Structure 1
């Protein structure tokens, strides 16, 4: 008959044989910034005879063994492994965390090949926003067309998208800020053209911004600062037109249905002050009688044309500028000034008598 001691030993051995290695504790989900340090803890029991491994699970399902028991399998100065025999805890430490370190880390006890006991911990790395390539960069549309501006960004936490205009101008949707990935303009107007800002923010870093140019095509609009101008014979005079259009228009000056060109009688200047704004000046040189009358400033682009009139009439006294400062007109100016004084004196004489 078996002794009590022997029976007790057999029971103890049998109990030991039936104990399955178990993961008692594993770190909860970890959220860290780039450059920080993280400790991943895994406490096990009944695993003395089995290897305990840390494994990284790649996004496509591939596994990368990092450590086995107390040994590291990867040569990386940022990684270290601590084993506390008292608590049977294996601690994987990652220093100077990089974006690529994010993922699933698995603590596994391999009882036999293909039969592990495992638990996972997620390491999430906060990343500043990066605006995606599939976001809008620029658009060119015609007046009254619909516009769709899109902006997407990657990062962790997931970035929030907002829209603004240059100088905080009013958005076509109303207000100075619009939140959402897509900004829609139902019927764009020429006043809606300009620079729009897509801003991505998630509380990490300063955020990201993309400038989106919105070009609106529209037919020319002409304004004339001085519709009627007087000038004396034999003096020069500048006729001006301001043109607003996109695409930039072709501009001509016309008198008596004849298109004018640069010659001894006329000088035409065209200055583009911006993509949509053009100033044009027609200088009438040494004015003769036949050059008085109405001049037409005409601008044309693919969306249409516009025209405006400037009338040049004869005056007795030269108008400055451009008459002032011209040396060849010095004597004539003196004569004209004397004539003006004579006329004023005559008027005073008649008034007093």
Structure 2
């Protein structure tokens, strides 16, 4: 950039060396603000009176950095070597036309027409070229966020482009936003008090009518204490048969899950089989299979879930029945409804036989 400025000043000095005093030039016309698409073409006109003895140049410059300017032409000749740029001069109207074809994004900016009176004096007029650009989501936008239930949360989305893009927010499957409704407009969406129902994917969409727009998926994770649902709090099964006890756990972060009987933690062995199945980051189904039930195994079982935000327990009462419940007594892997089903007629007769024998025994002991 320093080299360009040196060349610019050198050219300026040479052009001014032989200039004689005459009537002061004026710029009578400058093209108004121009807006173009990438790949388009633009003509920038500058009409100057009384300038035949003075250098007229086009300069591209940065308004924020006025010391950084790039000379593009001098009178009717280009200085810059770029096949996309050309210069025309109309002697009848004293108009210098700077043409740019195949416009690129970095062509946007301010173009100044200058008439150099002396090394310290010049008259100028300027025109802004704005280039339409499709939206791009800025790097300073939120990518993901984790918040604890009850806390406030804020997601931000910013976009570059021209015209300035407008930002809208949506949720996955057009779910209702915490702000109400399915659409929110603005760069920042605030949630004063986060609930676990607010978790999920949020879409930040930037649109300005150029291209297809831009979108960023922002994932909101909500940390919350475990919640346990017991689908069947009371279950009956006959001696020497298996039974599945179930708890559904909802929590984030994923909790530690344990099963207890009489305040003693259970583990996998010949009497119990514990399994956990995560259906999502926040949902876990846990099953305790009581194998070949013995008398001492009837009673209250506890499923316990714990994460950093809290601990919760669910209770399942396993009691004795005469008729086996199928499944799992019939050997199926999945427990269906809570309906007791006899696996076969022979099993029913055997169960009634056992029951009749117990009744007869009680009567016999009572009489004696």
TM-score range, shorter chain: 0.7 to 0.9
2:175 counterpart (164, 169, 176): 169
- In structure 2, the residue matched to 1:44 is 48
C-alpha displacement of 1:247: 1.1
Q: Cα deviation per residue 1:152-205 (whole Å; 9 max; x = unaligned)?
A: 222222222222211111111211112222211111111111122222222222
The within-5 A match list for 1:19-30 is 19-30=23-34
CA distance in 2, matches of 1:127, 1:341: 83
1:253 counterpart (248, 259, 267): 259
The within-5 A match list for 1:256-335 is 256-325=262-331, 335=346
The within-5 A match list for 1:48-87 is 48-58=52-62, 59-61=64-66, 62-87=68-93
C-alpha displacement of 1:94: 1.0
C-alpha displacement of 1:117: 2.1
CA distance in 2, matches of 1:50, 1:18: 10
CA distance in 1, matches of 2:101, 2:322: 89
C-alpha displacement of 1:147: 1.3
C-alpha displacement of 1:341: 9.8
The alignment covers a number of residue pairs equal to: 323
2:36 is aligned with 1:32: yes
SS in structure 2 of the partner of residue 234 of structure 1: coil
CA distance in 1, matches of 2:244, 2:331: 15
**CA RMSD of superposed structures (Å):** 2.2
SS in structure 1 of the partner of residue 65 of structure 2: coil
The TM-score, its normalising length taken from structure 1, stands at 0.85
Asked if 2 retains the 8 angstrom alpha-carbon contact of 1:294 and 1:312, the reply is yes
Q: Cα deviation per residue 1:121-164 (whole Å; 9 max; x = unaligned)?
A: 11011222222222222222212111122222222222222222
CA distance in 1, matches of 2:352, 2:260: 37
CA distance in 2, matches of 1:211, 1:241: 33
CA distance in 1, matches of 2:21, 2:71: 28
The TM-score, its normalising length taken from structure 2, stands at 0.82
CA distance in 2, matches of 1:194, 1:244: 15
CA distance in 1, matches of 2:98, 2:349: 102
C-alpha displacement of 1:299: 0.5
The within-5 A match list for 1:123-272 is 123-272=129-278
Asked if 2 retains the 8 angstrom alpha-carbon contact of 1:108 and 1:118, the reply is yes
- In structure 2, the residue matched to 1:10 is none
SS in structure 2 of the partner of residue 270 of structure 1: strand
C-alpha displacement of 1:278: 0.9
SS in structure 2 of the partner of residue 191 of structure 1: helix
CA distance in 2, matches of 1:98, 1:25: 26
SS in structure 2 of the partner of residue 167 of structure 1: helix
C-alpha displacement of 1:342: 9.4
CA distance in 1, matches of 2:263, 2:123: 95
- In structure 1, the residue matched to 2:16 is none
C-alpha displacement of 1:53: 0.9
C-alpha displacement of 1:20: 2.2
In the alignment, structure 1 segments of 5+ residues that lack a partner are 1-15, 327-331, 344-353
- In structure 2, the residue matched to 1:97 is 103
Q: Cα deviation per residue 1:262-312 (whole Å; 9 max; x = unaligned)?
A: 001111111121111111111111222222222111101111111111122
Q: Cα deviation per residue 1:86-115 (whole Å; 9 max; x = unaligned)?
A: 322221111121111111101112232222
CA distance in 1, matches of 2:21, 2:264: 111
Q: Cα deviation per residue 1:16-63 (whole Å; 9 max; x = unaligned)?
A: 975322222111100111121111111222222222211101241111
